[in-house]
Structures are given as structure tokens and as C-alpha cells.
Amino acid sequence: MSAALGVLLGAGVFLVWWSCWAGPDRRPVGPRRPGPVREMLARADLAGVSPGLLLVAGVVAGTLSALLVAAVTGAAVLGLCAAVLGAWLPLAVVQHRARSRAAALREVWPDVVDHLRSAIRAGMSLPEALIQLQYRGPEPVRPAFARFAADYRASGQLQGALTLLKDRLADPVADNIVEALRVTREVGGTDLGRLLGTLSEFLRENARTRGELEARQSWTVNAARLAVAAPWIVLALMATQPAAIRAYDTPTGALVLIGGLVVSAVAYRLMLRIGALPEPARVLR
């Protein structure tokens, strides 16, 4: 009996001592932001592709490039260089697709805003004005608004459908438009037409200015890309000569090739960093 009382007394003392310490922070955790690779895939309209699948594609492309070049030239170091370039190719394709899609969307957003403004002035509700963009909107955004229409009809909730629309478009301008519509829907107001008109003028001016800057710098960027690619084009031509292959298939030749590959990669990234125009960030994602 005394042992049981001792156990209960000890448990009570332990519980009193335990209650004096703060417990772990159990605040609800919000949705995690996607990583940079997943964000890039979304901007390229490849949200169904996972980062792991992109990694596998890079490994496969690099392996096939290495085997092909090594089999043709018989030089392992050339196969290694081809493996690095082949592994980088899927990522380069996704980045190019993301930039092309962003440029295409930048050109059509003023028309999207004008369509919304006209539909709302004609007496349509906000969901109806958004749904009709799957038929009357610019071609690059029709699939996204078609899926928005399907989401809205399935759930009947505009807020959730707008959130899914933002995730699919993955564009800063789309975030601004959606959040402006969301605020107008929640708090009400009669200035939506004026807001959309001002936004349309701003987007057109921004697209015009950015187009002029890109046209002026395009020849510089293309010349820099040609300067980076020229040595490797010459190397590919030299690889048709057995003497050149034997010269590079040595420790010294391998060191020259690996050093050239590193310098080319660093120079290319530096050129892109210096010549790139600032991209708007998705603040309202």
C-alpha cells in the first residue's frame, strides 16, 4: 500500500514539474511554398512534371550523350563533356519554355483585362466574366480559364477556383489581377471598371517598354551565346580527326577540356546574370 502511495506521489510531483515548462509550439502550419524547381515547372506550364522526373530526364540525357559521343570518338573525356551538356539540356529546355510562356502571357494580359472590363460593364457577374474568357480570351490563357470554369462549376466556390487559377498560371500579373478581383468580390465596390482600365494601360506600357529593352539587348546576348558555343563547335569538328582525339584523350587534354567547360559554364551564367532584365516576383502568390 505504501509503495502504491509512493508511486502516486511521485507521479503527481512529476506532473506538477512538467506543467511548469512551456509545451511545443503547435500553431497550424500554412501551406508550404513550392521550391524553385517546382515553381519553374509551373511557370513553364509543366506542373504535372515533378522535380524528380526532371532529374531523371537529365540523368538519362547525360548518359545517352556520353555513350554516343564516346562510341563515335573513342575518347572518354569527350564523353564526359557530352554527359555534362546532355544532363543540362532538359533543364535548359524547361527554362526556355518558362521564359517563352512568360513573354507570351505578358503580351496578352492587357487584352484579358479589357475583356473582363467589357464583360463586367455589359452586366455579367464576375464568375461569368471569367468563364467567358475560355472562349473569347487570348489563345495562351484559354486552357487555364477553361479549367477555372470546370473548377467553379464543380465546387461553386469562387475563391477556391481563383486560387487554383493562380497556381496554374504561375504569373505575377495573374496574381495581381486575381487578388484585385478577390478583394472587389469580398468588400464590394463600384470602381472595378476604372481599376481594370488603369491596370490595362499600365500593363501595355510595361510590355512596350520591356519589348524595346529586349530588342536592344538581344544582339548582345546572342553574340555572347555564340562566343560561348564557338569553341565547342570547333571541338566537335576537330573530333572528326583521329590525331585531335588522341591529343585530348590524355591527362593534359582532359584537364584542358574540363577547365574550358568550367570557364564556359561560369561565363554563360555571368552573361545571363548581367544581361537579364529584372523579372517581377510573385509577391501575391
State what percent of residues in the chain have pLDDT above 90: 4
Task: Answer left, alpha or beta for residue 278, where phi above 0 means left and psi between -120 and 50 means alpha.
Answer: beta
How much is the CA Rg of the chain, to the nearest whole Å?
A: 29
> Is 16 a member of any domain?
no
Instruction: Establish if 14 belongs to a structural domain.
Output: no
What's the pLDDT tens digit per position in 99-123?
888 888 888 888 888 888 888 888 8
Overall number of domains in the chain = 1
For residue 68, being part of any structural domain is answered with yes
CB atoms under 10 Å from CB of 166, counted, come to 20
Q: Is residue 52 part of a domain?
A: yes
| All residues at 6 or more sequence positions from 117 whose CB lies less than 8 Å from its CB, including other chains | 193, 196, 197, 200
Does any domain span residue 204? Answer: yes
The dihedral built from the CA positions of residue 259, 260, 264 and 270, taken in this order, carries a sign that is: positive
Nearest CA-CA partner of 176 in 103, 125, 113, 134: 113
Q: Give me the pLDDT at residue 119, please.
A: 85
Range of the domain at 202: 40-275
- Whose cell is 502571357? That residue is 105
30-39, 43-52, 83-92: least confidently modelled range = 30-39
Among residues of the chain, what percentage have pLDDT more than 70?
A: 83
User: pTM for this structure?
Assistant: 0.72
Give the separation between CA 201 and CA 188, rounded to whole angstroms: 23
By the 8 A CB rule, do 193 and 121 touch? yes
Dump pLDDT digits (tens) for 144-173.
Answer: 899 999 988 888 888 888 888 888 888 888
**Is 29 among the domain residues?**
no
pLDDT band, residue 178 (cuts 50/70/90) = confident
Q: Where are the beta strands (DSSP E) in 53-130?
A: none
DSSP 285: -
For residue 26, name the pLDDT band (cuts at 50, 70, 90).
very low
Asked if residue 63 belongs to a domain, the reply is yes
* Any domain includes 80: yes
Task: Decide: 151 and 160 in contact? Cβ < 8 Å.
Answer: yes
Give pLDDT tens digits for 70-105: 888 777 788 888 888 888 889 989 988 988 888 888
Task: Please tell me the distance from the alpha carbon of residue 164 to that of residue 151, in angstroms, as a whole number.
Answer: 8
**3-state class (DSSP) for residue 184:** helix
